[in-house]
C-alpha cells in the first residue's frame, strides 16, 4: 500500500485522463478506442485496489500517451 494514498487526487487524475481521452475520441477508430478504454478501466482499478498513487499516476500517464498515439495514427 502506498503511504501517500489520496483518494481525491487519484480521482482527479482519472477524471483528467478521461477528459483527455474524450477529447481525442473522435480522432480514433471507435473499436480501437473502446478496447483501449476497457484496458484502462481494468488497469486503473488495480491502482485503486492497491491504494497506490504511483500506480494510478503511472496508469493515467501511460494511457494518455497511448490514446494520443492512436489519435495521430488515423
Half-sphere exposure of 12 (CA within 13 A, CB side): 6
Give the tens place of pLDDT for each residue, 15-65.
999 999 999 988 998 899 899 999 999 999 999 999 999 999 999 999 999
Residue 39, classed as helix, strand or coil, is helix
Question: Would you state the pLDDT for residue 2?
Answer: 53
DSSP state of 29: -
Residue 7 pLDDT > 90: yes
Q: What is the per-residue pLDDT for 23?
A: 92
The pLDDT of residue 11 is above 80: yes
pTM assigned to the model: 0.89
Amino acid at each position: 500500500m502506498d503511504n501517500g494514498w489520496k483518494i481525491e487526487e487519484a480521482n482527479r487524475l482519472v477524471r483528467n485522463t478521461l477528459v483527455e481521452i474524450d477529447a481525442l475520441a473522435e480522432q480514433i477508430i471507435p473499436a480501437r478506442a473502446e478496447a483501449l478504454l476497457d484496458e484502462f478501466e481494468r488497469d486503473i482499478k488495480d491502482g485503486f485496489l492497491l491504494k497506490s498513487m504511483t500506480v494510478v499516476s503511472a496508469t493515467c500517464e501511460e494511457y494518455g500517451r497511448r490514446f494520443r498515439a492512436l489519435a495521430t495514427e488515423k
